[in-house]
Amino acid sequence: MKPIRILWRTLTAPHPSLSGEQERRAKLLLELLLFMICTAVLSLLVQFFFPGDSRPLLLATQLLGIGFFLGVYALGRSQHLNWATILFVASFDLFICVGIMALPPINYLMPMYLIIPVILTWMLSSFRQSLVVAVGNLVLLFLLLIIARVPSMQVVYVLVIFYLVTSLLILLFIQQYHYREMQNLQIREANENRLRIFIQEADDWIFSLDENGRIISANDKTCHTLGLSEAELLGKSPVDFVKPGDQRRIKGLLTNLFNNETITSVEVEVPVAPGKNIWLEVRGRILAKDGKVIGTIHIARDITERKRAAWLQQKLNWETTLLFEASQSLSRSLDFEHIYETIYTIILTVMDCPLLVIYRHEPEVQQLCFAHIRQDGSPLDLRGLSNERVRLPEEDPCRQAIASGEMRLLIGETAVSARTALTDRIPALAAPSSPESIAAALILPLKFENQIHNLVQIFVPYIPEYTVDDQRFWESFSQQVAAALATARLLTKNQHEIQERRRAEIEAVHRQAEAEMLRQAAAIINSSLSLNVVLTRILEQLHTAIPYDSASIQQKVGNDLTIRAARGFANDAALVNCSFSVTADLPNVEVLHTLKPLAVADVRTSYPSFDTLAPDYQAEHIVSWLGVPLVVDETVLGMITIDRNTVRPFSDEEIAMTVAFANHASIALRNAHLYQEMESQNVRLEQAVAARTAQLQRTTDQIEAIFNNSPDAILLLDPDYNVERVNPALETLFGFQREEVQGKPPFSLATTASRDQFVQAFSTAVASGRPQRLELTARRKDQSLFDVTVALAPIYEQETVTAVVCSLHDISAFKEVERLKDDFVSNVSHELRTPIANLKLHNDLIKLNPQKQEIYLQRQAREIERLTIIIESLLRLSRLDQHNVEVTLTAVNLLTLAQEYIQDRSTQAA
C-alpha cells in the first residue's frame, strides 16, 4: 500500500510555486482529473473487451475526452491553475452539449448535468466565478432546450426549476462557506498575530530553520541576547553561534534531525559576549511535507542558572566527599605530623600550594609559634624555631584574622608582603623565584571552643575563587582541623598527665603502704584506752615502721620531762616515771620550744650535756637521735625519742613517718587521758542521771495521776486537729469510748453552732502559740447537751507547736445555779415592788384625802411590816450555806390576813 500512496501523492502534487488555498485547489483539481481519466479509461476498456452496438462517434468522443483531460491535467500540474480550472469546467459543458446534439435520440434529462460545472466551480474557484458559471449554464440550458425542441413545456419547467433551485442552493451554500472561511481566516490571522507577538516577546529563544539548516526567522530574545539583528541572523547556521568545541557535535545533530530522526532536547553552551557564555536547552519540531523535512522550528531556554546550580551541587558533593575523606584521615591518627600531612593533601586537592605555614597560637600571650611549614611539598625542619615567639604588629593580617576570628584572602602586594615577612623570619625558607609567583594568600584561623589555637596560612600562585560556597567549605575544613588538633593536644596532654599519674600512683602506693601501716598502728594503739597499754603499743608499732635500737615516750609535767614508757633499754621498767629537768643544752629543749622534729646524727658530739646525763638514764649507747613533739590542739603533751646505737642519720621519709606516727600517738595519748577523766566523770554523771531519772519518774507519775484522775475531760491533739490521747473522764463526761475519739478531730463533741468557734480557737492556739479559753455547748453520745469550758494550751518542741492540750470542764451545774439566781432575783424584785408600790399609793392617798389618814397609815404600817418580813427572808436565805438559820413560829389568823389583803388591794375611794 505504501508504493500506491507514494504514487498517488506524486501524481496529485501541485506546482511548488503554489501555496495555501491555491495548493489545496490544485491538488483537488488533479485528483478530480485523475478520477475522470481513470473512469473514462475504464469505460473505454469495458467497451473494447465487451463490444456491442457501440457507435464509433461515442468512442471517438471518449478518446477525445481522455486526451482533453490529460491536457488539463498537465496544465493543472503547472502554475496556471486558473486556466486549468476554466478548461476543466468548460469541458463538462462541451461534453453535455455534444452528448445532447450528437447522440440521438435526445435525452431530455441530460441538461440537468449542467449543474455539475457549477459544483466544480464552487469546489475549485471563488463565489463570483461560480455565479458566472451558474448564469452561463442557465443561458446554455435555454439554448439547448430551444435547439432540442422539447415537445412538452412540463419538461422545460422541471429542468429550469431544478437547475434554478439547485444553483441557488449551491450559491447560498458557497456564500455561507466562503463567509465561514473568511471568519476562519480572520481568526487564523488573529491567532497568527498573537503567536507572532508571543514568539517575539517570549523569554525563550524561538527560531526556525529551512531544509538546508539555515536560520529563516528568529525572535527578539534571540537577537537581543546574541547582540545581532534578525537580518544578520538570517541565512546563518546555528553551528556558527556555538563554542568551537561543540560545533562538530551540533552539526551532527542537525544532520540527524534533517534525516527525520527524533531528538528530544540538546544542551549547548553559547558565547553571547566576550568572556560570557550561557547554556541553552534546545527543543525542536520537524516540519515535514510529503514525508520530507522542509524545515524545523526550535525553542531554546536559558538554563544557565540550572547548570550553575547543578555545577554548584556537583562542587558541593565533591567538597562534601573531600571533607568526609578529610575527617576520616584526621580521625585515623592523632599524631600532629599526620594531621599536618592531611591538611596539606586536602589543600593541594583544592588548589596549588607552593607554601603552607601552620602556626600555634597562645591566647594567653597573644603570640604565634611555628608549628609546621611545607614548601614545594617538603616540610621544613623547625627544631630551632619551635619555641620562637612571633610578635605581630597591629596591622598584620594574621593578627587581624585572629582578632576577628574570620578567614581572610590576601591579594597582590599584601600577599607578597606576607611572604617576604616569612622569609625574613625564617632563613631556611627559600625566597620565591619572582614576586609574580605569589598572587594570593588565604589565612584560616582554627577556632575551637571559642578560642583560636592555630592559624593556617596558604600561599597560592593565582587568585582563587572565594565565593560564599568556597568560604563555607574552608570554614567546615577549618572546624575539622581545629577539632583534630584540639584532640591531638588533649591526647598529648593526657599522655603527659598519664605519665605524671603513673608517678603519682607509684608514690601513692608507697604512701598507701605507709598510710596502711599508720592505720594499722593507729587501730592497734586506739584499740585500748588504758594509758599504760597505749604507751607500750605506741613503741611496739613505731618499731615496725622505723627500725630503731631504743625509744621512749616522755610526758611534759611542768618544766620537767617524765619518762612514761621505754623500749630497747637495759632495764625499761627502771626508766618509767624517771624525770629530768628541761635545760637549754639538751636536744629535748629545742624540740619542745620549736614544736618541730629534730634529727641529730651524733647527739654526743652536738650536745655534750647529753653525754653527761646519759649514764643516769641508760643512754650511753645512743648516737643518732630523733625527737618528735606530741601536740594536740596546741597543747604539748610531751615527745617521742628514737635512738640508734651507731651513726645512722634518720632520713626525711623516716622523720615524716615518725611525725605522722606521733600525731596518731598524740591523739591516742590524749584519748587515754580523756578516757580516765571520762571514767571518773561517768561515775558522777551516772549518779546525777539516776537522781534526775527518779525525779522525772515521780513527776511523770504525778502528771499521769492528774491526767487519769482529773474530773475534766483532757485530750492531747496533734497540729492536724487529730486526737492522740484522752483520759478516762472523757467517757464519763461524754459517753464515748477512747477508740471512738482517737485519730479524729474533737470538734464533733461540740454542737453545730459551737463547732466553728471551737475550730477558730484551736487554729489561733496553733498559730499564735498562746493558750485559748472559751465556753461552748457540748453534745454527749446520747445527743444530750450540756455546757463546758474549753482550755487549749499549745506544747512546744524547739520553738515549734507539736501538740495541743485540750481540757473540757462541765459547767452545767454552775449554769443551772446562775439560772436559779436569775429567777430568784426576778421574783424578789417582783415581791419588793408590790409593797413599795402600795406605800407610794397610800402616801398619795393621804395627800388627797387627809380625813382617812389613820386608815392609810395603818395600811402603810402593814406594808412596811410585809416588806420587813421579805427582807428578813432574803437575809435568812443568804445564811442557808452557813447552816445558821433560826426559825420563829407565830400563830396567824388566816381570816384576818385575807381580809387585810383584800382591803389593802381594793379600790380606794377618793
Instruction: Please give the pLDDT value at position 909.
Output: 41
Residue 52 pLDDT exceeds 70: no
* Local confidence band at 546 (pLDDT 50, 70, 90 cut-offs): confident
Instruction: Please give the pLDDT value at position 749.
Output: 81
Relative orientation angle of helices 81-102 and 56-76, to the nearest 10 degrees: 170
Residue 907 pLDDT exceeds 60: no
Distance CA(283)–CA(263), nearest Å, equals 8
647-673 residue pLDDT tens: 888 888 888 888 887 887 777 777 777
Give the Cβ contact number of residue 306 at 10 Å: 13
366-414 residue pLDDT tens: 777 888 888 887 887 776 665 556 666 777 788 778 878 888 888 877 7
Residue 79 pLDDT exceeds 50: yes
Largest Cα span, the chain: 204
Give me 532's grid cell.
599504760
Which of 30-34, 801-805, 904-908 has the least mean pLDDT? 904-908
Burial call 414-441: b when 16+ CB within 10 Å, e when fewer: ebbebbebbeeebeebeebeeeebbbbb
Residue 443 pLDDT exceeds 50: yes
Q: Which domains does the chain have, with CATH numbers?
A: 2-183 (no CATH), 204-302 (3.30.450.20), 315-493 (3.30.450.40), 513-680 (3.30.450.40), 710-810 (3.30.450.20), 817-905 (1.10.287.130)
**Percent of the residues in the chain that have a pLDDT greater than 70, as a whole number:** 87
681-715 residue pLDDT tens: 777 888 888 888 888 788 777 777 777 777 788 88
Which residues, listed in sequence order, are joined to residue 624 by a DSSP beta bridge?
A: 644
- Based on C-alpha coordinates, what's the Rg of the chain? 72
Instruction: Please give the pLDDT value at position 250.
Output: 84
Q: Which of 16-30, 503-517, 718-732 has the highest mean pLDDT?
A: 718-732
639-654 residue pLDDT tens: 889 999 888 888 888 8
Which of 82-91, 508-517, 578-587, 610-619 has the least mean pLDDT? 508-517
Residue 910 pLDDT exceeds 50: no
Q: Calculate the average pLDDT of the chain.
A: 78
Instruction: Please give the pLDDT value at position 385.
Output: 63
Mean pLDDT, residues 88-106 taken together: 68
148-205 residue pLDDT tens: 666 667 766 777 777 777 777 777 776 777 778 778 878 887 887 887 777 777 778 8
Residue 276 pLDDT exceeds 70: yes
555-583 residue pLDDT tens: 888 788 888 888 888 888 888 888 888 77
If one compares 113 and 819, the residue with the highest pLDDT of the two is 819
Instruction: Please give the pLDDT value at position 883.
Output: 59
Report the Cα 813 to chain-centroid distance in Å: 78
Which of 316-325, 506-515, 819-828 has the least mean pLDDT? 506-515
Residue 130 pLDDT exceeds 80: no
If one compares 431 and 680, the residue with the highest pLDDT of the two is 680
Burial call 338-377: b when 16+ CB within 10 Å, e when fewer: ebbbbbbebbeebeebbbbbbbbbeeeeeebbbbbbbbee
195-245 residue pLDDT tens: 777 777 777 888 888 888 888 888 888 888 888 888 888 888 888 888 888
Q: Tell which residue, 423, 425, 482, has the closest CA to residue 449.
A: 482
